[in-house]
Amino acid sequence: LTTSSAAGQFAGKHIVITAGPTREALDPVRYISNHSSGKMGFAIAEAARAAGASVTLIAGPVTLPTPAGCTRVDVLSAKDMHEACMAAVGDADIFIATAAVADYRAQDVQSQKIKKSNDELTLTFVKNPDILASVSALSSGPFTVGFAAESTNVADYARDKLKRKNLDMIAANDITASGLGFNSDNNALHVFWAQGDKQLSAKPKKDLATELLGIVLERYQYKNN
């Protein structure tokens, strides 16, 4: 997508985007979560809307304003996000999963505040549903785009997730690159699909979002023609 030609390129398309962290309760006052800011997903939502898409943004707890014209669904836990996504993707053309979904949740959420007692505390966690894999498993579901934040072997892990989750595309970033990624306003991505890949150099997430959507559109059209 070039800025001058972006208008209308996604007209008539419904894009569902997950963004931000999830929050998994331990007791009434505590939770586990992660440092995801939601900025990449919100930037993609804004760029997709600017390109004419109807956008549903399913957001974990973040402090960002809703991009103009996007429908926002706020959720906390991975289970809530999973439910909201399955409800939203019925008529979706494209699903983009930027959320940093907690892989595990506490097996038992304590109804009372956990009291300090022994020197060690052991909690048991169980696996959360994989939202992206659930969407890609739908028959005649949307074109699926995953994200992969990796600290080593970025390309190998990304290609593995592309295959394992049966995705149409995956955008990987190296979280060890300084000043990029989590919480930053800038990011760089290495995008993979079955037949190829493209490296998007470091730039503001807003510009990166537009560039990424250009590749999504190209691959989406290739798949659906």
Backbone angles phi, psi at 201, to 5 degrees: -70, 165
| Site stretch for ligand CTP (CB under 6 A), options 6-14, 113-121, 125-133, 207-215 | 125-133
Residue 182 annotated in ligand binding = no
97 binds, among ligand CTP, Ca ion, none (CB under 5 to 8 A by kind): ligand CTP
Spacing of C-alpha 214 from chain mean position: 17
Strand pairing report for 169-174 and 186-193: antiparallel
Q: Is 136 in the site for ligand CTP (CB under 6 A)?
A: no
Cβ proximity to ligand CTP: between 6 and 96 the closer is 96
99 binds, among ligand CTP, Ca ion, none (CB under 5 to 8 A by kind): ligand CTP
Return the residue of 31, 42, 95, 147 that touches ligand CTP, per CB under 6 A.
147
Find the shortest distance in angstroms from Cβ 93 to ligand CTP. 17
3-state secondary structure of 117: coil
Residue 163 annotated in ligand binding = no
Helices (H), the chain: 39-50, 78-88, 131-136, 154-164, 205-223
Q: Is 31 in the site for ligand CTP (CB under 6 A)?
A: no
Beta-strand (E) ranges in 162-209? Answer: 169-174, 186-193, 196-204
Reading the block at residue 87, the tokens are 């409800």
In Å, what is the CA distance from 114 to each residue of 104, 105, 107, 111?
A: 19, 16, 14, 9
Reading the block at residue 112, the tokens are 């009372």
| Site stretch for Ca ion (CB under 5 A), options 37-45, 98-106, 114-122, 173-181 | 98-106
Q: Is 160 in the site for Ca ion (CB under 5 A)?
A: no
Q: Which of 126, 72, 73, 81 is nearest to 99 (CA)?
A: 81
Q: Is 103 in the site for Ca ion (CB under 5 A)?
A: yes
Residue 64 annotated in ligand binding = no
Find the shortest distance in angstroms from Cβ 103 to Ca ion. 4
Tell me if residue 34 is catalytic.
yes
Torsion angle, alpha carbons of 40, 44, 46, 50, to 10? 150
Return the residue of 36, 37, 54, 128 that touches ligand CTP, per CB under 6 A.
128
Residues written for the chain:
225
Which residues belong to the active site? Answer: 34
Which residue ranges are tagged as binding site for CTP? Answer: 103, 113, 129-132, 147, 161, 165
Chain residues in the site for ligand CTP (CB under 6 A)? 18, 78, 97, 99, 101, 103, 128, 130-132, 146-149, 161
